[in-house]
Structure 1
Amino acid sequence: MKQFRVLLAILIAVTALVAVLFVWVQPTAPKLPQVRALWVTRFDYSNPEDVRNIIRNVGEAGFTDVFFQVRGNGTAFYNSSLEPWAYELSGHRIADLGKDPGWDPLQLAVDSARPLGLRVHAYMNVLPGWKGRAEPPESAGQLWTAHPDWFMVDSFGDKMLPTSGWYAFVNPVVPEVRQHLKGIVKELCAYDVAGIHLDYIRYPHDYHLVAKQNYPDATDQELRRRADFSYDSVSQSALYEKYGWDVTKKQIEDFRRDSVTKVVRDLAYEMQVERPGSCILSASVMGNPVEGRSHAYQDSGHWVRAGLIDWAVQMNYATRSFDRYISSMKKAAGRKGFRNSVVVGVYLKHDEERILRQIEAVKKSKSRGLALFSYTFLFGENHQITEKGRSVLKAIRP
């Protein structure tokens, strides 16, 4: 019996040693390179020289990636056969919508970035379909006039109206909308871009903040109803087909979340068809993932965990809640997802001290990297670096 106990003890010790050695010799996954990205909006450029200066500044500043906006609200800043040229490229007159400016901003950005080793992501607003109170010319074939039935409908049964500074959104439930957006991604994949970057991929829950412009006599309660979308016939039919007539609030919310996620899945699939394994799909997501999921129907944590997107670029533009939102995103995406796929966004409109503190917090968070919004706060008039820009660029250096 004593010998048996000795042998058993030796066997247990050897087994434990083998287990330790097995763990020790397992190869560790290589650490993914850190992302340092900058958003460049369509408002930052209007001519070829602007684009050349922007890309040179971004590359020389040490950024690895640039989100270069080429679609705002159903108009294109690249050569598209699906949507008209943006009028901003031809003098800022809506009457010039669709006029060929004679140059291609996206192609120029890609060509200018290549020698610098800077990765260009074609940045598109996904669901916005028009902005401003003026009507686009019908001859341009813009979505607002060509496909009025594609737009969201509020709880009063009225089509969503844009304001002078805010968008009207197309409806992700409409099959033709999803097909159109897939076509946009297909066009963008034809360029030698490193990725496609999605923005406004959500429901416009915050429309009540601007709706007063269109409904000046509405009460706060009415404005909230004006921001409750979409009650169009296509959505209602699809909802009732799935859940029946006795539909609950939770089922409506699940349906809307699924409709947004379906767009993400469609666009991810289209990218894999066009550029298998060679193009990064990223999305700007709300800073608070809990609010994003509950109110804007943007399930960013699920997108990361399910591998639908490569990067969730968290628009963490909060002041007091910055660290808390990082923790919330880590919980939503999971620790591995946060480490590999979450890029934390910092808003450069804040004061310099706050920005530097937030950049340091991102570095300590063990996320995939950081993104800064936006170019114009770093480089001001004539594309010259600002004082804030000097401090920020010094802080982000690896």
Structure 2
Amino acid sequence: MPDRPGRRPAKSPVQIFAGLTVLGMTALAALGLSFTSGGAIALAQEETAGPAVSGVTGSQTPAAAPKPQEIRALWVVRTALTSEYSIEQVVEDAVANGFNTLIAQVSGRGDAYFKSETMPPAEELIWAPADFDPLSYLLQLAHARGLQVHAWLNDFFVYNLGGTPAWPQHVVNQHPDWITYNYQGVSTADPSLAVNRPGDLEGAYVDPGLPEVREWVVSRFVEVVKKYPVDGIHHDFVRYPGRNYGYNPRVREIFKEQYGVDPIDLRQRRTELREELGAAKVGQLDVAWEKFRRSNVTETVRMVHDAVKAIRPDIVISAAVFADINQAVSDKAQDWPTWLKEGLIDVAVPMAYNTNSPLVESQVRMAVARKGQGQIWAGLGAYKMLGDLPRLVDQTERVRRAGVTGIVYFDYGSMANMPGYIASLANQVGFLPVPVPAGTPEDSKSPGEGQAEPGASASPPDPGNSGN
């Protein structure tokens, strides 16, 4: 799942230079090859020495160079966007190691790492200068260096389990009636859930079954697209926590108006319902409830698509999705094959976070087979292989052979915390530094300049999200 909280300790310029030199990245740049720029969360570690990284060496022979149009992306968690220096570090690491796309988390907990009218600023920015706009600064630096930037927002997951947002205007505080409930009638914002934490719950979710929630989610994406020249938008946590959720009191009323039964009774009074209505009828209601949940999520994705494409027809819409299609559709109500089929997203990024490489390849091949007119970017769980780089290299080659048009690594923060890890990966899988676009000096814009007007185009590549 793309969202793992944490903070990466900053590296000094001396450390950066030394690491790149040892790993031979200057030799890569000297090859003189270039690629067309194209279109994850951070597991930051404590400031202690990490485990030895197996296979990290600058002497290994690089793999064959990828195709120029291959998307080579990093999921960048919000904690890497809290200062100008940390943003500069992200861009430098990406450029030096041949990545061409940053999927940056600009809304992780119902908050904003940009100047927003729909959400409060992130609590992590409380000590930042008042005029600091992380997304604007990232776009300024990244575009000047030939990188694409996709704005990553968590759709329905809005706050940590058991926590209380500091800002009164936060959605959890302002609209507690929007929060989804479990089948026992407990709000996912209830602090009691933090005591005996359910295995399938990360925190408070707003309920996709409420029309006002869907409209709020759309407004957040629209705000980003109107204000900033992002190359794409990226859905994450665009789902229910699991099949035990979706029982907001008003959502139950909506379902009951349509089908005559309170959906919570399908769980709490199942035996009685079978006696009253018959087993066949209860089975039909089960199917109706699951379809209802899927349609709520799909309708949100449809509304976001229609709204942002009306503003920027060329913008790339992607989504981090569960790689196991059955789990995605049946448990999470995340019917991403339908989203691709209907053109509601341009790209699905199956989160194949597993050390079992044949399983990863199998899941990605199944995704490619279901892509329709869209594209598949493979989401690989680098954070699970920090001590086994050869395994990540092998997975990279496997998903390339499976026919993906891009690869997204989860995640920048955990990889950057391992000295030499990113550079060695880039060397072994054939990445090359991204060239600076001709006539685009790094200091050509000041923060905030170049923000897109409605209808403006950032000319993203052929597209071919989250936390999941």
Q: What TM bracket, shorter-length normalisation?
A: 0.7 to 0.9
String of CA shifts for 1:360-386, please: whole Å, max 9, x gaps. Answer: 101111111111111123322xxxx72
| Residue aligning to 2:249 | 233
1:346 aligned to 2:377?
no
| Residue aligning to 1:83 | 119
Note the C-alpha offset of 1:102.
3.0
Bigger drift between 124-133 and 262-271 goes to 124-133
Note the C-alpha offset of 1:100.
6.9
Contact 2:162–2:203 at 8 Å: present in 1 too?
Answer: no
- SS of the residue aligned with 2:295? helix
| Residue aligning to 2:365 | 327
Note the C-alpha offset of 1:140.
2.9
Residue type matched to 2:173 in 1?
T
- What RMSD over aligned residues (CA atoms) do the two structures have, in Å? 2.2
String of CA shifts for 1:250-297, please: whole Å, max 9, x gaps. Answer: 11111111111011001111101221x221111001121221111111
> Which consecutive residues of structure 2, in runs of 5 or more, have no partner in the other structure?
1-66, 262-280, 432-468
Contact 1:377–1:386 at 8 Å: present in 2 too?
Answer: no
Work out which of the two has the higher radius of gyration on C-alpha atoms and give 1 or 2. 1
1:153 maps to which of 168, 181, 186: 181
Note the C-alpha offset of 1:108.
0.3
CA distance in 2, matches of 1:371, 1:330: 15
| Residue aligning to 1:274 | 311
String of CA shifts for 1:274-330, please: whole Å, max 9, x gaps. Answer: 21x221111001121221111111111111111110110111102222122123323
Contact 1:32–1:368 at 8 Å: present in 2 too?
Answer: no
Give the alignment of 1:8-47 within 5 angstroms.
33-47=69-83
Greater helix proportion: 1
Aligned length: 330
- SS of the residue aligned with 1:136? coil
Residue type matched to 1:312 in 2?
A
CA distance in 2, matches of 1:179, 1:360: 40
| Residue aligning to 2:58 | none
1:129 maps to which of 158, 164, 172: 158
Note the C-alpha offset of 1:33.
2.5
> Which consecutive residues of structure 1, in runs of 5 or more, have no partner in the other structure?
1-30, 92-98, 206-226
| Residue aligning to 2:91 | 55
CA distance in 2, matches of 1:346, 1:269: 29
1:396 maps to which of 429, 433, 439: 429
- SS of the residue aligned with 2:245? coil
> Structure 1 vs Structure 2: percent identity of aligned residues?
28
Note the C-alpha offset of 1:187.
1.1
Contact 1:288–1:328 at 8 Å: present in 2 too?
Answer: no
1:142 aligned to 2:170?
yes
| Residue aligning to 2:207 | 171
Give the alignment of 1:42-121 within 5 angstroms.
42-91=78-127, 101-121=130-150
Give the alignment of 1:297-312 within 5 angstroms.
297-312=333-348
- SS of the residue aligned with 1:140? coil
String of CA shifts for 1:8-34, please: whole Å, max 9, x gaps. Answer: xxxxxxxxxxxxxxxxxxxxxxx9922
- SS of the residue aligned with 1:325? helix
Residue type matched to 1:175 in 2?
P
Task: Give the TM-score of the pair, scaled to structure 2.
Answer: 0.67
Contact 2:354–2:360 at 8 Å: present in 1 too?
Answer: yes
CA distance in 2, matches of 1:153, 1:133: 14
Note the C-alpha offset of 1:101.
4.0
CA distance in 1, matches of 2:255, 2:130: 43
String of CA shifts for 1:161-212, please: whole Å, max 9, x gaps. Answer: 364993210001111111111111111002010011110001102xxxxxxx
Give the alignment of 1:351-370 within 5 angstroms.
351-370=388-407
- SS of the residue aligned with 2:216? helix
1:199 maps to which of 231, 236, 242: 236
Note the C-alpha offset of 1:39.
0.5
The change in CA–CA distance for 1:263 and 1:72 in structure 2 (over 3 A counts) is same
Instruction: Point out which structure has higher relative CO (alpha carbons under 8 A, 6+ apart).
Output: 2
Contact 1:174–1:235 at 8 Å: present in 2 too?
Answer: yes
